[in-house]
Amino acid sequence: DSADFDSETQSICPFCGVGCQVSLKVKDGRVKYVEGLNGPANEGRLCVKGRFGFDYIHHPHRLTRPLIRREDAPPKGLNVDPGNVSTHFREATWDEALDFAAHGMTRLAQAHGGKTVAGFGSAKCTNEEAYLFQKLIREGFGHNNVDHCTRLCHASSVSALIENVGSGAVTATFNEIENADVAIVIGANPVENHPVAATYFKQFTKRGGKLIVMDPRGVGLRRFASHMLQFRPGADVSMLNAIMATIVEENLYDQQYIEAFTENWEAEKAHLADFSPEKMAPICGIEAEVLRDVARTFAGARSAMIFWGMGVSQHVHGTDNSRCLISLALMTGQIGRPGTGLHPLRGQNNVQGASDAGLIPMFLPDYQSVSDDNVRKAFTDVWGSGDFSNEKGLTVTEIVDDIHAGNTRAMYIQGENPAMSDPDVDHAREAFARLEHLVVQDIFLTETANFADVILPASALYEKSGTVSNTNRQVQMVRPAVAPPGDARQDWAVTVDLARRIGLNWTYTHPREIFAEMALNMKSLDNITWERLEVETVTYPSLSPTDPGQAVVFGDGFPRSRGRARFTPASIIAPNEAPDADYPMILTTGRQLEHWHTGSMTRRSAVLDAVEPEANASLHPATLRDLGVEPGAMLRLTTRRGSIEIMARADRAVSPDMVFVPFAYVEAAANILTNPAVDPYGKIPEFKFAAVKVEPA
């Protein structure tokens, strides 16, 4: 009933990478409720987060004034009450806070060099904001120590995709499953983490599609699966190589496709000879005949897709896991046609766009190498600035180590919460406490903002203008439904004012000007204009000003030398930390349906918090019985990094030697426990495997 609201605004859900279009109904300056719109990724659907996760924007904890740390504040630590920040901070004007923020960074850069100042941007901000953020660090401080949460989610997938197919984005939208007859979902739990995408997967099975689910945990899609492979944690490569070895042994591969579009096949084929299903079965915990059946089902498909999530990427062998998935698609020719392709399901709503916009230490926008002199010149010509470093910068976790080493002394952190999301988070918190100057820009006083010297109040997505790019490569417009509270401002505008104060000649007055500048050096944005996005979603690549974009790419070759994709053989690498007598079980971490990442938004959304209010760890009922612990009682979990106390929950889907802990809860922060060991290529930490001791608390 239109009497229920004063206005309605079309925007995009701020949570996951599905990118559902929403209609925000506003009354008396507040969002009252949210409905799904007929966007290309959601066709009117929303999950519980999109439907009910909006009232955080009106929460009393919202930051409304710039804050500067008081001179008499207690020592830095995780010790600020977000409802009463005056014990540690005093309110300031924007001019004072921006001068203070900029001066702190320039003073340290002048005294110790530009590399003193590092940046974490945000996959929750718009494409334009991500672009400006990386530009500020590169142009303002002359180096590439700028990163964002892709490092913690799909960095290894992107590294394997760029290496082997020449592009880090998905080769087909998830909606293409409508044209498939077989699909693999591995290391992903879309029912909880990409719920609207999961509805397409379920419909696919209802019309006869075969869904092969592979996960050490029995995820929600298992009820729809033709094959459920609950393999040993960390055994991805042995299982996938065994499936590919069967395809080779039984001559099920697509020789014509391999000859036309790939390279290094003979090396892959020879490598796979060592990985028979019979040999791999005891390693991965899946019977040889099941592995053979999966190989025949996938290779025999008319059209097949592969979807994966952080169960694949967050390992020290994350890049190898993705290499196997790419090889599987290539050897069977299941790529480049409708209903085929590779699709790493993106986490944050704009992690694809922030990565495309160059918020990565190795790459400028569109994954153009910082080491290429011509590439840097193309950007500095547009920027009207001098050159910057040709060295790859430091990643999120490397910057933390660099703080401990005394090199990085200042940081600008926008909309990220590494004091909750980094592995071995006590180590990260100690680093943030050591910083001489920390500028945090956010909507709440996050755990990271506890350590700030100056806090700049920013906007929630429903308060800003810009564009975002979802997991499907679909670029969509976000629009402000309400004004930011108090003096809070849009992130791009804050970054512009900060840049001017560090001496950059920036004159942007609207995100459309930033978008136009991005398009000058981003081929992915060819034929995509701000004006088009005001009226339609466009999938990149778009081949003409009227082409809605290509749902499937690489039908006629790959953006690599001679147009050929590459097979890169993968060997078995053990998890970094094996269970032993002291830490006998396996810890894995992830998300839950109701909560988003570090919980700063969803735990301040009334409905979501009411449904899932308390930190919980899931274990098999038999494990709880052996421990003498009832569901609902408290457990102590301890790893070599630290210890937390958390409520036990019984879940038959978790194997008896595992414990699953969501990372949304500050009072039992999963990342106190996690292992910071990283994959050597994607430099992503091994969040999915640590040795843990479990006891009654």
Applying CB under 6 A, the residues found at the interface with ligand SF4 are: 13, 15-16, 18-20, 42, 46-47, 49-50, 194-196
In the complex, the smallest distance separating the C-beta of residue 35 from ligand SF4, rounded to whole angstroms, is 11
In the complex, the smallest distance separating the C-beta of residue 609 from ligand SF4, rounded to whole angstroms, is 16
In the complex, the smallest distance separating the C-beta of residue 33 from ligand SF4, rounded to whole angstroms, is 13
In the complex, the smallest distance separating the C-beta of residue 361 from ligand SF4, rounded to whole angstroms, is 27
In the complex, the smallest distance separating the C-beta of residue 85 from ligand SF4, rounded to whole angstroms, is 29
Nearest Cα to Cα of residue 136 among 441, 587, 535: 441
In the complex, the smallest distance separating the C-beta of residue 24 from ligand SF4, rounded to whole angstroms, is 13
DSSP per-residue letters across 530-554:
HHHHHH--EESS--STT----SB--
Nearer to ligand SF4, 50 or 234 (CB): 50
Nearer to ligand SF4, 17 or 541 (CB): 17
Amino acid occupying residue 455: I
Nearer to ligand SF4, 348 or 675 (CB): 348
Classify each residue of 166-194 as buried b or exposed e, where b means 16 or more C-beta atoms within 10 Å of its C-beta.
bbbbbbbbbbbbebbbbbbbbbbbbbbbb
β-strands 21-27, 7-12: how paired? antiparallel
Residue closest to ligand SF4, measured at CB: 50
Nearer to ligand SF4, 17 or 140 (CB): 17
Burial environment of residue 653 by CB neighbours within 10 A (0 to 12, 13 to 18, 19 or more): middle
Classify each residue of 465-503 as buried b or exposed e, where b means 16 or more C-beta atoms within 10 Å of its C-beta.
bbbbbbbbbbbbbbbbbbebbebbbbbbbbbbbbbebbe
Nearer to ligand SF4, 104 or 347 (CB): 347
In the complex, the smallest distance separating the C-beta of residue 120 from ligand SF4, rounded to whole angstroms, is 23
Nearest Cα to Cα of residue 244 among 181, 323, 187, 314: 323
CA separation for the pair 469, 668 (Å, rounded): 32
CA separation for the pair 570, 566 (Å, rounded): 12
Cis peptide before 361 (omega within 30 of 0): no
Beta strands in 112-206 (DSSP E): 117-120, 146-147, 182-186
Q: How many CB atoms lie within 10 A of CB 255?
A: 11
Q: What's 73-131 look like in SS3?
A: CCCCCCCCECCEHHHCEEECCHHHHHHHHHHHHHHHHHHHCHHHEEEECCCCCCHHHHH
CA separation for the pair 440, 448 (Å, rounded): 8
Nearer to ligand SF4, 51 or 148 (CB): 51
Q: How many CB atoms lie within 10 A of CB 598?
A: 24
Torsion angles phi and psi, residue 670, rounded to 5: -55, -35
Beta strands in 215-260 (DSSP E): 227-229
In the complex, the smallest distance separating the C-beta of residue 20 from ligand SF4, rounded to whole angstroms, is 3
In the complex, the smallest distance separating the C-beta of residue 47 from ligand SF4, rounded to whole angstroms, is 3
Nearer to ligand SF4, 200 or 687 (CB): 200
In the complex, the smallest distance separating the C-beta of residue 522 from ligand SF4, rounded to whole angstroms, is 24
In the complex, the smallest distance separating the C-beta of residue 196 from ligand SF4, rounded to whole angstroms, is 4
Nearer to ligand SF4, 149 or 330 (CB): 149
β-strands 210-214, 182-186: how paired? parallel
β-strands 363-364, 341-344: how paired? unpaired
Eight-state DSSP code of residue 654: S
Nearer to ligand SF4, 13 or 160 (CB): 13
Q: Which residues 6+ apart lie within 8 Å of 84 measured at CB?
A: none
Q: Which residues 6+ apart lie within 8 Å of 452 measured at CB?
A: 67, 69, 438, 439, 440
Nearer to ligand SF4, 49 or 683 (CB): 49
In the complex, the smallest distance separating the C-beta of residue 224 from ligand SF4, rounded to whole angstroms, is 17
Nearest Cα to Cα of residue 159 among 350, 322, 310, 392: 322
Nearer to ligand SF4, 119 or 344 (CB): 344
Let me know: does 459 contact 14? Beta carbons within 8 Å: no
Nearer to ligand SF4, 504 or 607 (CB): 607
Amino acid occupying residue 462: Y
In the complex, the smallest distance separating the C-beta of residue 205 from ligand SF4, rounded to whole angstroms, is 19
Nearer to ligand SF4, 16 or 669 (CB): 16
Nearer to ligand SF4, 15 or 307 (CB): 15
CA separation for the pair 362, 377 (Å, rounded): 16
In the complex, the smallest distance separating the C-beta of residue 681 from ligand SF4, rounded to whole angstroms, is 28
